[in-house]
Structure 1
């Protein structure tokens, strides 16, 4: 499993960044699909990276605003990032509240279940549209474009599966409600 220190090194390998900018990468940027890292884990990771000499802190003049701390990866940090990247990745883990709910979907009122599935299809279709628009930007690295395409394939497949098979689970919920 990739730790927060490695995630921070990955962001900094693309350029200097503040802690806030690093967090934005995990919330809205290309890394938002990999981690939920927040300030509570980012700043301790940055401190450990500083202590280990894998990053340095640069003072940055805020042009009348308070100075913000910018971080820069060092050669030791690049080496640590490389060492993390060449390791065999752990197996993917899919954690999903939706999948848990759908596992017991037959116990829900059919209309409620159908609404949950319909809402998620809409969410996936919106994510697909967003990724298709963002995918047209040329500033992404080849790896980011590749992962973006992989994400699109996953979202399209899941949305398609839900659209094709939602009636099966809703029918099971309907049958369960008639028995109860």
Structure 2
């Protein structure tokens, strides 16, 4: 899925500025779909507008610069649905923590334990954020489609599995790390 389709997905349910689309890509439920930078969103919006898939209007704000608000057209809705028929491609999962874990054997056990604790706290925060979103969807506080609840539930389950695995197996990762005394002894020998 590309940035163009991502922009159409957000505009399918609400009008938004490029900044708001970027915010939706980095915070909340939209952050789990496709990564998009300002440098990719604005050219995609310009091309969508050139192709007649979105329109824009200038919205003036008191004490702030005016902003350009984009709206999807009927042609844009059709193009979005067509894009959903295309092959999806593989999910992309990148994790700096997994790189760290891969080389934990080179590090002090105290550092490995600390990073595991940080990662568990991050997972807890992400799960809590999604559960809050789930609650907003269930109570109707968040405008949504029935499938939004399914998507959020899927995300919660994936994160809970990651949390459970890390919590259950953290001792083997910590045990693979060096003890401070070992590292200091090796440095002294060198």
Q: Please confirm whether the aligned pair reaches a TM-score higher than 0.5, indicating the same fold.
A: yes
Show structure 1 runs of 5+ residues with no match. Answer: none
Q: Mapping of 1:1-180 within 5 angstroms?
A: 2-62=1-61, 65-137=64-136, 138=140, 139-174=143-178, 178=182
TM-score normalised by structure 2 residue count: 0.86
Q: Is the 8 A contact 1:107 1:176 kept in 2?
A: no
Q: Map Cα deviations across residues 128-172 of structure 1 (whole Å, 9 max, x no partner).
A: 122212211122222222111111001111111111100011111
Q: Distance in 2 between matches of 1:64 and 1:113?
A: 49
Rounded Cα–Cα distance in structure 2 between residues aligned with 1:53 and 1:177: 66
Aligned residues: CA RMSD: 2.1
Query: 1:151, 1:101 → 2: CA distance?
Result: 23
User: Normalised by the size of structure 1, how large is the TM-score?
Assistant: 0.90
Partner Cα separation in structure 2 for residue 56 and residue 66 of structure 1: 20
Number of residue pairs the alignment of both structures matches: 179
| 1:31-87 CA distance string (max 9 Å, x none) | 112233222111111101011111111233435754321111112111111111122
Gaps of 5+ in 2: none
| Paired residue secondary structure (2:56) | strand
Identify if the C-alpha distance between structure 1 residues 167 and 47 changes in structure 2 by more than 3 Å, giving closer, same or farther.
Answer: same
